[in-house]
Copies of this chain bind each other. A is one copy, B any other.
C-alpha cells in the first residue's frame, strides 16, 4: 500500500476527530476540517482520495463522518484497541486526573499513578493503585502500560521521560513546559496552556486585522 507517512498521520488524526463529533451522521466539509486542523482543504481532499474509498464516503454537502473514519481505519489497518495509561507526578495537575471521568467509554484506561513522594501516594485516593516512583520499572511492564501522562515538576521532566521510555512506555503526553528528547520509537504529545493561549491570540490578531481592512475598504467607498 502506497500511502506516504505524513498522509497516514493526517488521516489517522482525522479519523479520531471524526469519531469525536457529536453527530456521526452530519456531513463534514473539507473547509470545516481545515478550520479544525489547519491543514489546507486541498491537502485534505488529496489525502482522502489516496484512500481509494468508494463514493459512499461522500454526500452532496461533505464527507460522511462515520463512513470516512471507517474507511481510514480499514485502509490504515488499525482499530481502536484498549490502551493502558498511567499518570506520573501527582501534584495538583496530576492528581486532577485521579477524578477525571472522561476516560469512560474511551479506548484508554488509567490504571496506575506514580509519584516520588511516598506520603502523597498514600494520602491520595483513586479508583486504581498509586505507587512510589521507584516502582515504575516493575509496574509498567507488569500492567502492560504503554502511555504516560507526564505531570512532574519541570526539573524532573527529562530524566523521568527517559526512564519511562526505558521501562516500555511508547507515548508520553507532556504537560510540563520542558521540551523532551526521547529515544526513537517513543512519541511525545505536548499539551501547553501557553500554546493554546498563543493560538487564540494569533487567530484573534488576524480577525482584528481583517476587520480593520474591511472597515478601511468601506470608508474608501
Number of A residues with CB within 8 Å of any CB on chain B: 67
A93 to B10, CA, bound (A): 30
Q: Are A40 and B38 in contact (CB under 8 A)?
A: no
Instruction: Report the stretch among A55-63, A132-140, A160-168, A200-208 that lies at the interface.
Output: A200-208
**Choice from B6, B37, B203 contacting A171 with Cβ under 8 Å:** B203
A13 to B177, CA, bound (A): 17
Q: Is A54 on the interface with B (CB-CB < 8 A)?
A: no
Q: Is A74 on the interface with B (CB-CB < 8 A)?
A: no
A173 to B198, CA, bound (A): 10
Residues of B within 8 A of A149 (CB): 193, 197
**Contacts A96-B96, A171-B197, A193-B100: A202 and B9 contacting too (C-beta < 8 A)?**
yes
A202 to B92, CA, bound (A): 29
Q: Are B9 and A38 in contact (CB under 8 A)?
A: yes
A193 to B102, CA, bound (A): 9
A78 to B206, CA, bound (A): 8
**Contacts A6-B40, A13-B202, A43-B40: A85 and B173 contacting too (C-beta < 8 A)?**
no
Which residues, 11 to 56 on A, are CB-close (under 8 Å) to B?
A: 12-13, 15-16, 20, 22, 34, 37-40, 43
The chain B residue with its CB closest to the CB of A22 is: B179
A140 to B76, CA, bound (A): 48
The chain B residue with its CB closest to the CB of A102 is: B177
The chain B residue with its CB closest to the CB of A98 is: B92
**Contacts A16-B195, A38-B38, A210-B5: A200 and B177 contacting too (C-beta < 8 A)?**
no
Which residues, 164 to 207 on A, are CB-close (under 8 Å) to B?
A: 170-173, 177, 179, 185, 187, 189, 191-207
Q: Is A97 on the interface with B (CB-CB < 8 A)?
A: yes
Q: Are A200 and B189 in contact (CB under 8 A)?
A: yes
Residues of B within 8 A of A102 (CB): 177, 192-194
